[in-house]
Amino acid sequence: MKPIPAVWRIDIEPDDFQPGSGLPPWTGFLAAADLVDGLRDRLADRSGAAPHPTWFLRFDPDIERCYGRSDFVVDRYRDRIDRLRAHGDPLGIHVHYYRWDERRRVSYSDHADTAWTVRCLETAARTFAHCFGETPRRASHGGYFVTDALVDRAIALGIEVDVTPEPGRYPHRENVTFGDYTTAPSTDFRHYPRRPYYPSRAALDVPARSAEDARRMLMVPLTAYDYRRAGSPWYRRLAKTALARPYQHMPLNPWKEWPTPDTFWDLVARAADEGPACYVALAVRTDPPGSAGHRMARAVLDHLPSHPISQRLRFVDPLSPEIRALAAPG
């Protein structure tokens, strides 16, 4: 069977999405690193290739406010991060747009303030360069949120790939990742392409038709599946419930509740083989051990070496030639 290039995005964050006024630990990161270490040899034995997840570090102003420095995770866990780099795993930045509402004593996502979102991105890029002596080339944005302004500024900062889009996801204002509230809804990802692409200068969700029209940013959307093609009534019910309307694709997230791990990987295989491009992109957050998100993601990922698709998946850098080849303009 044909190998499938795959991107495994891991967002390194504190155990709590928005630290608020406290100092939550980062035990989820250590647990994720342990999980990956336990999977490396098993996946390599199945596929014949060493897996390389991409780790996106949280470096935004909210981290600086809560922990006293935006590079807290590298300062505290430098040895563990150096071990990831020694394995050849790529690194990038992960950015949230939290602000602290002093009057209400709550965190919120200030998506409406473009200047603030750009400042958060710039803080993350500057911190990455300080920690590793090089410009970040990979980015993911938290809160299901990315804009033209952020992508254009990221390009100017030297970032080359964005692994944020979740095709099929509706814009919304209520989500645990937003803090207590948000000043603007998340991005409308309903019509984003389900393949890697270079966006047109006209719109982020439109692939460029020529090299002249293309922005210098590779977009790698997370894998989504069109439930019209699923044979099981359970799949169709899930799509209708999750999207509030039938027969539309939706993101395949390992940290969601699935009937069995096999169910998840069966759908991933379908998405790769039946979709507009043969690739896979998955994302997990470093949820703390014992949390529902960690428990479900661990069950799905730990099962991967036992599923036939593990023989085909090649976990690579999102900037690898295999991913870039799927995104040629036109």
Kindly tell me if the per-residue pLDDT of 228 is higher than 70.
no
Q: How confident is the model at residue 226 (pLDDT cuts 50, 70, 90)?
A: confident
- Sorted by sequence, the CB contacts under 8 Å of residue 267 that are 6+ apart come out as 225, 230, 235, 252
End-to-end CA, the chain: 27
Contact 85, 133 (CB under 8 A): no
Distance in angstroms (rounded) separating the CA atoms of residues 328 and 322: 11
Tell me the three state secondary structure of residue 325: helix
Tell me the three state secondary structure of residue 251: strand
pLDDT at 124: 98
Kindly tell me if the per-residue pLDDT of 247 is higher than 50.
no
pLDDT at 105: 83
The β-bridge partners of 107 are 100
Nearest one of 186, 176, 119 to 149, comparing CA atoms: 119
Mean pLDDT of the region 179-195: 91
| Amino acid making up residue 307 | H
CA distances from 90 to 9, 46, 123, 197 (A): 10, 22, 20, 20
Burial tier of 166 (Cβ tally within 10 Å: 0-12, 13-18, 19+):
buried
Mean pLDDT of the region 226-255: 64
Distance in angstroms (rounded) separating the CA atoms of residues 67 and 73: 9
Kindly tell me if the per-residue pLDDT of 146 is higher than 60.
yes
Q: How confident is the model at residue 56 (pLDDT cuts 50, 70, 90)?
A: very high
Distance in angstroms (rounded) separating the CA atoms of residues 191 and 164: 14
> In the predicted model, what is the mean pLDDT of the chain?
91
Contact 200, 192 (CB under 8 A): no
pLDDT at 42: 97
pLDDT at 137: 98
List pLDDT tens digits, range 267-308: 999 999 998 999 999 999 999 999 999 999 999 999 999 999
Distance in angstroms (rounded) separating the CA atoms of residues 282 and 253: 7
Domains defined for the chain, CATH in brackets: 4-327 (3.20.20.510)
Contact 278, 4 (CB under 8 A): yes
pLDDT at 21: 53
- The residue that leads in pLDDT, 108 or 244, is 108
* Token pair belonging to 300: 């799905």
